[in-house]
Amino acid sequence: ATSIVLASRPKGTPSQDNFRQETHALPAPGDGEILVRVIWLSLDPYMRGRMDDAKSYAAPVELDAVMEGGVVGEVLESRAEGLAVGDIVTGSLGWTTHAVARADAVRKIDDPVAPLSTYLGVLGMPGLTAWVGLNKVIEMQQGETVLISAATGAVGGLAGQLAKAKGLRAVGVAGGADKCAFATDTLGYDACLDHRATDAATLRDQIGKAAPDGIDGYFENVGGKTLEAVLPNMAMNGRIAVCGMIAWYNGKGIDEAMPLPAVWRTILTQRLRVQGFLAPDHFHRFPEFIGEVGPLVRDGRIAVREDVAEGLDSAPGKFLEMLEGGNFGKTLVWVGDD
C-alpha cells in the first residue's frame, strides 16, 4: 500500500515538502474491521487546518501520520458483520491506496444513484454542507436573495443550484471570468462577480447592483476581501452562514482585514444573525439529505463539475492548487479502478 503522510507543519502557505509518500505492507483487518481499496480520494480545504497544531474543532494530523481525507473504496476483506467483499463504502480513511477501518467508521453506499465520485462531492460532505447551510442556518425563504462565495466550488456549486431550485435570487462570487460564466450559464446563478478582477470597494458596488434589495442570506466560504464587500450589502434581518474562510487559511491578508468594530456595528444595525456551522454535527442528516438531493442528481437536474487528478502521488500538488483557487469544481483524486 502507498500513503501520503504529513512530513512537516507548514508556516503560512504549505508546499510539497510538507508531504511525504511512503509504501508499506498491505495491512490485515482484525475482528470487526475491513480492508478497503481506495478508489476516490476527496481533497478539501479543511485539510489545511489539520496540518497545523493550533487548537481547533478537530485534532491535527500527527507528524508522520497519514493525511486525513474522505474516500470512496471497495471492501477487499471483511471481518465485520454487515460488510462483505465487494461492498462500496465511504469514510475518512486518509490519503492512501488501502486502509484498514472499523466497520462503524464507514458508511456503506447501497445502490448508488450517481457515479461513486459524487459521494465525496455533491452527495457527500460538501453537498450536505451546502444543504445544511441554506436550509438549517440561513433558513432560505422563497423570494429572498442569497450570495454564495466560492460559487462554483464543491459546496458553492450545489448551494447555488439548491437556492435556484427553491426560487431564490442567487448571486455568486467566484475567481475568474470562466468560473463566473459557468456559474450563470450552467449552475443558474442570476449574476456572478469576479473577485479576482476587482478591489473590495468595487466588488461591494457590483454586489449592490446585483442585489438591489440587499442580501438576505450570505453563504460565507471565503472571508477576506469578499466578506468585506458583502457585509455592507446585507439586508435588514439578514443571516450569515459562516461555513469557511479559505482566503485566510494560509495566514495571508489577516493584517489588512476589516476592523472588528465596523463588522460588529453592521451586525448590530442590520440585526444580522451570524452562525457558524460544521458538517460533522449534521452527519445524522445524511439520509434526509440524500433522500432530497439524490433524485435531483440521479435525474441530471443538478450539474456536477469535478476537477480530477490521477494517482495518489498527485494529491499534494492538487491540494496546494485548490487552496489558491486552481480547482474548477469538486477536487478529487482518482486512486484506483472504478
Residues at the site binding ligand NDP, with contacts judged by CB under 6 A: 44-46, 126, 129, 150, 152-156, 174-175, 179, 195, 221-222, 224, 226, 243-244, 246-247, 277-279, 322, 325, 327, 331
Residue type, 186: T
29 vs 153 by CB, closer to ligand NDP: 153
CB of 213 to ligand NDP, least distance (A): 24
CB of 324 to ligand NDP, least distance (A): 6
167 vs 251 by CB, closer to ligand NDP: 251
Could you give the residue ranges of the DSSP H alpha helices within the chain? Answer: 46-50, 125-132, 154-165, 177-185, 200-210, 224-230, 260-269, 286-298, 315-323
Rounded distance between C-alpha atoms, residue 283 and residue 188, angstroms = 27
CB of 198 to ligand NDP, least distance (A): 12
Report the SS3 class of residue 144: coil
CB of 235 to ligand NDP, least distance (A): 22
CB of 247 to ligand NDP, least distance (A): 3
169 vs 195 by CB, closer to ligand NDP: 195
Rounded distance between C-alpha atoms, residue 77 and residue 29, angstroms = 7
Helix H or strand E segment including 107: strand 106-108
Rounded distance between C-alpha atoms, residue 95 and residue 76, angstroms = 18
Residue type, 191: A
45 vs 69 by CB, closer to ligand NDP: 45
215 vs 222 by CB, closer to ligand NDP: 222
